[in-house]
Amino acid sequence: MKIVKEAKTFNQVDTELLIVGVQKNCDHIKGWNNFVSFYGENVEEWIRSGDIGTERKKMTKIPYSGSNAKIKRVLFVGLGDTKTLTENELRETFGLVGKQLRALKANEFTIWLESFTASPIDEQTIAFLFAEGAGLGFYQVPHYKTTSNEVDVYMDAVHFVTDGDIDEIAASYEVGKIYADAVNEARSLVNLPPNLLTAKDLANYAEQLAKQYDFEIEILNKEDLEELGMGGILSVNKGSTEEPRLITIKYQATEKWEDVVGLVGKGVTYDTGGYSIKSKTGMVGMKGDMGGAAAVLGAMKIIGELRPNKNVVAVIGSTDNMISGDAFKPDDVITTYSGKTVEVLNTDAEGRLVLADAVTYAKQQGANYLIDIATLTGGVITALGYDKTGALTNNEAFFDSFIEASIETGEFVWGMPLTERDKKRIRKSDIADLNNSPGSDGHMIFAGGFVGEFVGDTPWIHLDIAGTSDTTSAYDLGPKGGTGVMVRTLATFIERLGEQLN
């Protein structure tokens, strides 16, 4: 996409679509009189009559018939009362603009930035939020229909009408675009059918990512995992004909490999539930059980683009969970990479077994802080619904700083308690150190708490995205399907940590 670094006046605009923000009182918009003089006084009458809606997220398309510039049409975007307008609401509004751009097949467009500013949201912030929000809203799920005649549409170029610093504005837009592109790649991974995304395929994608951004990468295959004794991943993989992979990516920002944040993703490319088999309806959609891995890879893409001053190691355990004569089963006892033994009570509680080995390996690779992310339990949906990511932590200061990043990105995270009584139930077994399924009550807490048994004193956050990784209906920032949730928050968190070191 070409970001045109040339601030234009209305009379200089040559565009398919001019995007203008309108609010409850447009006289408050800097340069509004200039726009009225350019467009014509009838625009104010149309706003008063409601033909151009100023309600928040209201979109009004009107062809431009004037002779002052080469403009095909104007898209008026309602902002409502800008005194209460938040960055998150503006991002969502721009998501709807992105949907309009796709519907109009507008490859090129112009934004009047000042029409969207609202204290303290300045032109640079508008540029970032527009690039991010519109990029997310523009996304379309890849499909495999052979009868489709739909022409591919791309956002080829963006122009700006502004009085602001065009170089800073263009830079902010570029960062927003980087964020949106990374989320959309994560979404596409989640949306891939399981026959097209195996553990090997996921590792190949990670290798390409590492090559693109000059990351250090290590891919462990089944033989490697057997030599290391990674019984968690290997037990889940036993029923499959597809080999597992453990993917490790390192981004070294400082001279010494220290103060390292570990991002650990669950990469279960399909989950039947194993012998604790899911229902026929519960199995549909399990192609997305690698949403945690997608989030980590998406965050690493942003890190590769922006190069924050923070060391990061990403570890992804990947396999599918299938059924065969060789598959693991309830009553098995397995030995994890850490040496701890686990009594298997439920083969559909497989993600925590994969994560147990992955977090242990991340610590060995130098992680001083850990964040694991996984589509782990239906319990988090029961507790929090489909729009909230559930979290556990052993370090409130670490968690508080992460929450600041989630607030900045508008991705809601809610902390859940992990008590000593919960830990005792996870450790309750007559024959092993732990059991993998203490009960259906408090399911999200037991699942995350199980992973916590392998982190020791390392500051740790567990994120359960089972409810937020996928959506069954379109929303402001995207279509139904994979959401790419937590890509932006993980990357923002790493960026903010890096800024503390500068």
Average pLDDT over residues 57-68: 90
Predicted local distance difference test score (pLDDT) of residue 493? 98
Q: How confident is the model at residue 350 (pLDDT cuts 50, 70, 90)?
A: very high
Amino acid residing at 458: T
CA proximity to 265, closest of 294, 285, 300:
294
Average pLDDT over residues 431-436: 98
State yes or no: pLDDT of 83 exceeds 80.
yes
Q: How far apart are CA 226 and CA 117, in angstroms?
A: 57
Q: How confident is the model at residue 24 (pLDDT cuts 50, 70, 90)?
A: confident
State the residue for tokens 């409810």. 467
**pLDDT tens figures, 238-258:** 999 999 999 999 999 999 999
Predicted local distance difference test score (pLDDT) of residue 317? 98
State yes or no: pLDDT of 88 exceeds 80.
yes
Q: How far apart are CA 113 and CA 129, in angstroms?
A: 11
Predicted local distance difference test score (pLDDT) of residue 15? 93
Average pLDDT over residues 86-109: 96
Predicted local distance difference test score (pLDDT) of residue 452? 98
Token pair, residue 135, equals 């990029």
- Compute the mean pLDDT over every residue in the chain, rounded to the nearest whole number: 96
Q: How far apart are CA 157 and CA 91, in angstroms?
A: 20
Predicted local distance difference test score (pLDDT) of residue 154? 83
Q: Which residues of 378-387 are buried (b: 16+ CB within 10 A; e: fewer)?
A: bbbbebbeee
Predicted local distance difference test score (pLDDT) of residue 210? 98
Three-state secondary-structure class, residue 502? coil
State yes or no: pLDDT of 446 exceeds 90.
yes
Q: How confident is the model at residue 400 (pLDDT cuts 50, 70, 90)?
A: very high
Please count the CA atoms within 13 angstroms of the CA of 457 that sit on its side-chain side: 0
Q: How far apart are CA 293 and CA 202, in angstroms?
A: 9
State yes or no: pLDDT of 72 exceeds 90.
yes
Predicted local distance difference test score (pLDDT) of residue 103? 94
Average pLDDT over residues 373-397: 98
Q: How far apart are CA 103 and CA 7, in angstroms?
A: 27
Q: How far apart are CA 192 and CA 269, in angstroms?
A: 9
Average pLDDT over residues 44-48: 95
Predicted local distance difference test score (pLDDT) of residue 66? 81
Token pair, residue 247, equals 């993917």
Cα separations in angstroms, 112 against 22, 32, 75, 98, 117: 11, 11, 11, 15, 10
Predicted local distance difference test score (pLDDT) of residue 65? 81
Q: How confident is the model at residue 35 (pLDDT cuts 50, 70, 90)?
A: very high
Predicted local distance difference test score (pLDDT) of residue 69? 75
Q: How confident is the model at residue 119 (pLDDT cuts 50, 70, 90)?
A: confident
8 Å CB contact between 84 and 56: no
Average pLDDT over residues 226-240: 98
Please give the backbone phi and psi of residue 489, each rounded to the nearest 5 degrees, phi first. Answer: -70, -45
Q: How confident is the model at residue 138 (pLDDT cuts 50, 70, 90)?
A: very high
Three-state secondary-structure class, residue 22? strand
8 Å CB contact between 290 and 197: yes
State the residue for tokens 């062809």. 63
Cα separations in angstroms, 367 against 16, 172, 304: 49, 31, 18
CB atoms within 10 A of CB 43: 21
Which of 50-54, 151-155, 417-421, 474-478 shows the lowest mean pLDDT across its residues? 151-155
Average pLDDT over residues 25-30: 92
Q: How far apart are CA 251 and CA 124, in angstroms?
A: 28
Three-state secondary-structure class, residue 370? strand
8 Å CB contact between 115 and 20: yes
8 Å CB contact between 300 and 312: yes
Q: How confident is the model at residue 59 (pLDDT cuts 50, 70, 90)?
A: very high
Which of 57-71, 311-325, 452-466 shows the lowest mean pLDDT across its residues? 57-71
Average pLDDT over residues 375-379: 97
**pLDDT tens figures, 153-177:** 888 999 999 999 999 999 999 999 9
Average pLDDT over residues 144-157: 82
* Percentage, residues of the chain above pLDDT 90: 93
Cα separations in angstroms, 243 against 220, 224, 246, 269: 10, 11, 10, 12
Give me the active site residues, please.
278, 352
Do the bridges between strand 108-112 and strand 157-161 make them parallel or antiparallel, or are there none, so unpaired? Answer: parallel
Predicted local distance difference test score (pLDDT) of residue 68? 73
Please give the backbone phi and psi of residue 349, each rounded to the nearest 5 degrees, phi first. Answer: -105, 55
Q: How confident is the model at residue 37 (pLDDT cuts 50, 70, 90)?
A: very high
Cα separations in angstroms, 43 against 9, 40, 63: 18, 6, 12
Token pair, residue 455, equals 């982190």
Predicted local distance difference test score (pLDDT) of residue 492? 98
State yes or no: pLDDT of 230 exceeds 80.
yes
Amino acid residing at 240: S
State yes or no: pLDDT of 502 exceeds 80.
no
Q: Is 441 exposed, middle or buried (0-12, 13-18, 19+ CB in 10 A)?
A: exposed
State yes or no: pLDDT of 278 exceeds 80.
yes
Q: How confident is the model at residue 152 (pLDDT cuts 50, 70, 90)?
A: confident
